[in-house]
Amino acid sequence: MNRIDLHLHSTYSDGSYSPTDVVELAHQAQVSTLCLTDHDTTDGIAEASQAASSYGIEVIPGVEVSSLYRDKETHILGYFVNHEDAQFQQHLTWLRNSRHERIPRIIDKLHHVGVDISYEDVKAAAGHGSIGRPHVAQVLVQQRYVPTIEQAFSRFLKEGSTAYVARQLPDAKEAIRWIRESGGVASLAHPGWVRQSLSELEIACRELQTCGLQGLEVFYSSHTSRQTSEYLGLAHRLNLTATGGSDFHGSTRPDIVIGVGRGNLNIPEKIVEPLRQCAKENRKTVQ
Ligand SMILES: [Zn+2]
Ligand SMILES: [Zn+2]
């Protein structure tokens, strides 16, 4: 049986495996179509595509864009984006810089509470990836200020804690516009993350749809079967394309496995074609 997984992270953002390793793991998991959706960057796609070609795995060019919807961090997945589009890359660069810029301010706040880590340590933890809070968390664990990544976030890094610094993010509508202008399909990621009722979600989807939202991430590692069927019903009602993926990150979220999430994720292969068709139609209007 072929599996698909349309939500994967690599070392180009906060995942622990390189794109080549992600593809290798996908191959082992019998995944035939995958999408690398690193946060705010498409830089890992070329490596993933190259690695996938020898296995006959299809790599859909993708990205996960950080944004705000009604003051809450909201992630928008972009599928079949034209990652060679200069304008699109400009937007992503701006977004990565906004992630980058807050790191020295976070470190400064940490110094004030006696946590003495350096920018160089965090940069080293990020490697070639786009630097972010997970790398600060990694250093806090390495230097034994906290035992786990989760505690690094809850004690120091998350909203409301000692060293939290807000990040400048585009509005979700703006993020959707960027994806659409590059010919991609914009899908609202992990709708179960922000705890909200189904009717609130419906209002958000309808509003974002007027700005170009075309998909909803129905199949996701942490969705209960009830959520999955509710979201599938909502996607159907609003004529949104259902998308799905594990949100694999490797060792930073060790319970999530490529293709199967926590073991029972089943992303139907048949969702790929409607997504592809949608992108095809988009490209006609963009050009
Ligand atoms: Zn996300
Ligand atoms: Zn993700």
* Residues 100-134: tens digit of each pLDDT: 889 999 999 999 999 999 999 999 998 877 788 99
Q: What is the mean pLDDT of residues 277-282?
A: 96
SS3 273: helix
Output the CATH code of domain 3-91+175-286: 3.20.20.140
Please name which ligand lies nearest the alpha carbon of 249. Answer: 2
What is the CA(112)–ligand 1 centre distance, in A?
A: 30
Instruction: Using the predicted structure, report yes or no on whether residue 287 has a pLDDT greater than 70.
Output: no
What is the CA(22)–ligand 2 centre distance, in A?
A: 14
Of 157-166, 205-214, 278-287, which gets the smallest average pLDDT? Answer: 278-287
Please name which ligand lies nearest the alpha carbon of 193. Answer: 1
Question: What residues have CB less than 8 Å from 75, skipping those under 6 apart?
Answer: 64, 65, 66, 67, 188, 189, 190, 193
What is the CA(196)–ligand 1 centre distance, in A?
A: 16
Q: In the chain, list all ranges with CATH 1.10.150.
A: 99-157
What is the CA(192)–ligand 1 centre distance, in A?
A: 11
Q: In the chain, list all ranges with CATH 3.20.20.140.
A: 3-91+175-286
What is the CA(190)–ligand 2 centre distance, in A?
A: 8
Q: What's 99-157's CATH class?
A: mainly alpha
Q: Which residues of 218-244 are buried (b: 16+ CB within 10 A; e: fewer)?
A: bbbbebeeeebebbbebbeeeebbbbb
Q: What is the mean pLDDT of residues 193-213?
A: 92
Please name which ligand lies nearest the alpha carbon of 35. Answer: 2
* Residues 5-25: tens digit of each pLDDT: 999 999 998 899 999 999 999
What is the CA(95)–ligand 2 centre distance, in A?
A: 16
